[in-house]
């Protein structure tokens, strides 16, 4: 190991959360703030989201423009953004990371580390979709980079798996690349996007939406020749195509968190945190979609700013908080974030995900047999944000065991 280089705060990942945290930290005089980014360009996922919807309501931006603004803001505030540098692993103790880049290996010792490593889509293999292993199988992340960053040819006929917002974004990218979207395929009974967007795709662009349908087999040697699909009622069909895009099914990029022995939440699979971004490892904070895969870029950036506040308090001598009581969910809820609660802690806004559509659900918060809270929500769709307030925090018993959120 090389002699460690010292910085005040080391941020891992130059996406919206990491860049926003770095900008705030540097502006607040946290000292030497450094952001490590393993890609060639900073910005994270917005780098390759050509569609709008970034920035503010008043001043909307495309993803790449938003990524540039975040980067400029961080650098203007005095943070250093180092691209093509990979955080490999942790030194045995403390917020110390080993890295490698074109300049060689390094050990970087920080007073605080902010993990902002983001999230990615689960690929075909993790989804256990059977069949052959042809070329032409990708995720939205790969598709968008191929089309928007490199101008690569992606095939002529694509099936898009998943009909949440990201699936529609993938369909837009396929069309932008001059290819045809054969169909959007979703296992759910309806699209998980706004009615206007779903209709624009179906009626405006003539893209069929196959609901209650799963991809059961990939076909073709060398290049994909089609996908076999099965409807819930048992009917099967082959959709001829040379490209299939697996969209959504996001998971946190938790490799570094896991390597560091951070307590992970079994639901989100990201680091377990409470209302504040302190992880189980003192000196290590987490922010953005590594905590909840995935919320919009603006939410990740807001969290980065909040994390910076907690880091500043810590650098000023605030003690590391107790881990708090676990907050868990019951099926059909999939996960909740944050997922620890300290009664005395600041209020949080909880985000959740459901497995199935819940028409106007009531969320119940229990600790043991004790009902702490119930809250009526609007209809919840899979892969869409469902929220819960923190109006029940003061009723949590710190010694009362885990808090459970359910739908009844």
Partner 1 sequence: MTVTADGPLPSTPYDVAIVGAGVVGCAIARELARHPRLRIALVEAQDDVGQGTSKANTAILHTGFDAAPGTLEARLVREGYARLGAYAAETGIPVERVGALLVAWDEEQLAALPRLAEKAERNAYPDTALLGPAELYAREPHLGPGALGALHIPGESIICPWTTTLAYATQAVRAGADLHLNTAVRAATWADGHRLTTSRGTLRARHLVNAAGLHADTLDRALGHEDFTVTPRRGQLLVHDKFARPLVRHILLPVPTALGKGVLVAPTVYGNVLLGPTAEDLDDKRATGSTAEGLAALRDQGRRILPALLDEEVTAVYAGLRAATGQEDYRITAHPGQAYVTVGGIRSTGLTASLAIAAHVAGLLAGTGLDLGPVREPEPVAMPNLGEAFPRPYQRPDLIAADPEYGTLVCHCERVSRGEIRDALAGPIPPRTLAGLRRRTRAGAGRCQGFYCGAAVRELFERGARP
Positions touching partner 1 (CB under 8 A) are 2, 38-40, 84, 86, 88, 100-105, 120-126, 128, 130-133, 135, 138-139, 141-142, 145-146, 149-150, 152, 216-219, 221, 255, 258
CB of 346 to partner 1, least distance (A): 33
Half-sphere exposure of residue 330, counting CA atoms within 13 Å on the CB side? 12
CB of 259 to partner 1, least distance (A): 9
CB of 342 to partner 1, least distance (A): 28
Calculate ∠ Cα 58-64-70, nearest 5°.
Answer: 70
- Give the distance between the most distant pair of CA atoms in the chain: 63
CB of 116 to partner 1, least distance (A): 15
Q: Can you tell me the distance from the alpha carbon of 296 to that of 198, in angstroms, rounded to the nearest whole number?
A: 19
CB of 258 to partner 1, least distance (A): 7
Q: In the complex with partner 1, which residue's Cβ is closer, 173 or 186?
A: 173
205 alpha carbon, distance to own chain's centre: 29
Q: Which residue intervals of 274-335 are DSSP H helices?
A: 297-315
CB of 331 to partner 1, least distance (A): 17
Going by C-alpha positions, the residue among 383, 382, 385, 384 that lies closest to residue 356 is 382
Q: In the complex with partner 1, which residue's Cβ is closer, 87 or 181?
A: 87
The kind and range of the H/E element at 326 are strand 325-329
CB of 39 to partner 1, least distance (A): 8
Q: In the complex with partner 1, which residue's Cβ is closer, 4 or 101?
A: 101
Retrieve residue 332's tokens: 């059909």
Q: Can you tell me the distance from the alpha carbon of 316 to that of 146, in angstroms, rounded to the nearest whole number?
A: 45
Going by C-alpha positions, the residue among 181, 182, 157, 186 that lies closest to residue 171 is 181
Whether the Cβ atoms of residue 19 and residue 304 lie closer than 8 Å to each other: yes
Q: In the complex with partner 1, which residue's Cβ is closer, 111 or 120?
A: 120
CB of 353 to partner 1, least distance (A): 18
Q: In the complex with partner 1, which residue's Cβ is closer, 39 or 187?
A: 39
HEC-encoded secondary structure of 328-350: EECCCEEEEECCEECCCCCCCCE
CB of 326 to partner 1, least distance (A): 18
Q: In the complex with partner 1, which residue's Cβ is closer, 292 or 393?
A: 292
For the chain, how far is it from start to end, CA to CA, in angstroms? Answer: 54
Whether the Cβ atoms of residue 183 and residue 174 lie closer than 8 Å to each other: no
Q: In the complex with partner 1, which residue's Cβ is closer, 120 or 306?
A: 120
Q: In the complex with partner 1, which residue's Cβ is closer, 121 or 303?
A: 121
Q: In what order do the strands lie in the sheet with 157-161?
A: 137-139, 243-246, 157-161, 180-185, 209-210
Q: In the complex with partner 1, which residue's Cβ is closer, 165 or 365?
A: 165
Q: Can you tell me the distance from the alpha carbon of 380 to that of 199, in angstroms, rounded to the nearest whole number?
A: 19
């Amino acid at each position: 190991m090389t002699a460690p280089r010292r910085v005040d705060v080391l941020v891992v990942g130059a996406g919206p959360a990491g860049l926003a945290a770095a900008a705030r930290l540097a502006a607040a005089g946290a000292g030497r703030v450094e952001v490590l980014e393993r890609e060639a360009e900073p910005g994270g996922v917005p780098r390759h989201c050509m569609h709008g919807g970034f920035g503010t309501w008043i001043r909307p931006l495309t993803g790449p423009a938003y990524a540039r603004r975040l980067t400029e803001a961080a650098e203007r505030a005095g943070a250093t953004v180092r691209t093509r540098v990979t955080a490999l692993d942790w030194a045995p103790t403390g917020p110390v990371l080993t890295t490698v880049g074109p300049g060689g290996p390094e050990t970087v010792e920080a007073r605080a580390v902010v993990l902002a490593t983001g999230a990615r889509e689960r690929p075909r293999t993790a989804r256990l979709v059977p069949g052959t292993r042809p070329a032409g199988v990708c995720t939205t992340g790969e598709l968008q980079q191929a089309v928007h960053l490199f101008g690569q040819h992606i095939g002529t006929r694509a099936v898009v798996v998943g009909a949440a917002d990201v699936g529609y974004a993938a369909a837009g990218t396929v069309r932008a690349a001059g290819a045809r979207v054969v169909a959007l395929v979703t296992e759910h009974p309806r699209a998980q996007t706004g009615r206007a967007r779903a209709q624009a795709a179906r009626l405006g662009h003539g893209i069929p939406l196959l609901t209650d349908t799963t991809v059961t087999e990939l076909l073709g040697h060398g290049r994909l020749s089609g996908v076999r699909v099965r409807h819930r009622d048992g009917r099967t069909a082959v959709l001829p195509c040379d490209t299939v895009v697996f969209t959504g099914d996001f998971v946190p990029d938790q490799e570094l968190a896991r390597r560091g022995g951070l307590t992970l939440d079994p639901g989100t699979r990201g680091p377990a945190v409470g209302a504040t971004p302190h992880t189980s490892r003192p000196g290590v904070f987490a922010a953005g979609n590594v905590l909840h895969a995935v919320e919009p870029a603006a939410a990740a950036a807001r969290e980065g700013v909040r994390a910076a506040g907690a880091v500043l308090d810590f650098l000023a001598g605030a003690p590391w908080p107790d881990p708090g009581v676990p907050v868990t969910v019951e099926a059909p809820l999939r996960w909740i974030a944050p997922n620890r609660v300290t009664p005395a802690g600041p209020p949080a806004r909880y985000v959740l995900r459901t497995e199935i559509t819940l028409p106007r659900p009531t969320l119940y918060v229990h600790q043991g047999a004790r009902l702490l809270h119930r809250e009526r929500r609007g209809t919840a769709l899979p892969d869409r944000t469902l929220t819960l307030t923190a109006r029940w925090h003061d009723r949590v018993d710190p010694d009362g065991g885990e808090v459970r959120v359910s739908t009844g």
